[in-house]
Structure 1
Amino acid sequence: MSTGWVKLHRKILEHELWNDVTTFRLFTLLVMRASHQDGFKMNGVVLNKGQYIRSYSKLCEDLAYKEGRGLKKLSKSTIMRSIKKLVTNNIITVSETELGTLFTIVKYESYQEFSSDHETEPRTEEEPIAERRRNESGTKSELYQELKNLRIKEEEEEKRASVENDLTPFQQIEEKYLSRKGGLMLTPKDSAAIERILKERIPLENILVWIDEVFDQYQPKHRADSIKSFAYLESAILDRWHAQLHQPQPLKNNVSEFKPKQHRQSNLDALAQYAKENGIKFGGG
């Protein structure tokens, strides 16, 4: 999907996305890489017109920007916030698959104003049909291999994944929670619960460990039972924090070590001793 061209309407200048650099770049990327035909099958996933499949890790690389002498990748949480904005504006829909996230541009044909499939990728009259077929076959093979390599690399990244340094505590908690719960975005209630937890000034390391602990220990009552909100975690985290703060302290040994008192000579005794040694009469004796 790296050949051909797409249309971009001037009305985009009037949309709020124009002022959001990351979200606009993401939208443009999805439009340019989306399938231009129905029924395109890649590794068991059938892509229809206006669909594209990609992992969040790969999108971070796709949208990297130049900083200094190198490229800086965006964080996953930044990508997810832009995706959330596109979903909220009914510009795209998303669904998770084993091969990555499937993005569907809601009004793809409207954006592109197709009159025929030929508009998506102009051909010349002189181009042989056999050459066209070879090109299309090669494109499919490249996409298939790209998806395969993508999944292999992402699995390796997940094994050694660590929290990115540029994420705020809120973003780190958000990413941990969504990765365990399975989802794309927080609800307003989830966000409020995270904010309340942060106000408790609980160490971030404890919060992240306890989120994993709560999910690992959760025992669903039936197949549809699951942790559905961060409020459940909020209560469990506060319980653990309260228990840690109020752990019974070990009893101190108040019995001091016995030390025999040394005999101290009184001032009077000292004077009497001095008088005796120097032949001085002392005490009227």
Structure 2
Amino acid sequence: MPVNKKKTITFLFILILLSLFLSGLVYILFLKKTKEDPKQSSYDSRSEVYWQRLQNRPEVLIGPGYPQDLRDFLETLRGKESYLWKGDRDKTYEYLLETYPDERAHVLYALYVAFMNWKEKSLELEQREDLSSYEKLTAVNRMSEQIFPLMIRNLIFPKHPTTPPVFLLSYLEDYVQKNPYSYSRERKRIFLKKKKELYQNEKWEIQSWESPTFLRQVIELIYSREILEMSEEEKTSYRNAKLEELKADFWN
């Protein structure tokens, strides 16, 4: 084999190895980083030990001397860090040490770092244009499940009757956007099925918390194809009829 041909083959072989190496390096530095476990950024060097302890003993947060409304406490602390201390986390730590001169300061700091991790990742999700409202809500909810143990999650994000209607409406919006040619009977079917899943046995309490425009928004989404072809007079009577019909179906 000619010498030049051997050199060419050797050179090509080296190029292939180099490209494989660079591909692996890109994967390690970038792709793997994007799949980072949210839990890994839920603590810093000061909070790691207490955050790990809090995983096993979340009940300490309902003990004497701890804030009763943890979500309000964390949001207030976030505001102070942002506006009073210009984002200086050290100032937040010092403030907690001064306000809670015992183990509570360390526990609350650990909780705050985890909360801010959830907050930052949630904001990133909410700013994504490739996700629908429902997909964003679902992703943010899943993020809280990944970061916080169940008891801590329930303390920071207690269940509220206004939440299911928001999820339900965004779910229907998402379905209609992805299935623009679906028939109203199919939209209504998946809507009522999802409603049953979200409301469960608390539908009467949840109903009292629905916004006044909730069912009207639902009507517009379910029957948008039919309404589009009607005159203004027909639309009014049709909407009212479907509203009464949906109320009957909704609470049976």
Q: Give the TM-score of the pair, scaled to structure 1.
A: 0.24
**Larger relative CO (CA 8 A, sep 6+): 1 or 2?**
2
Q: Which has the higher strand share?
A: 1
Q: Which has the higher helix share?
A: 2
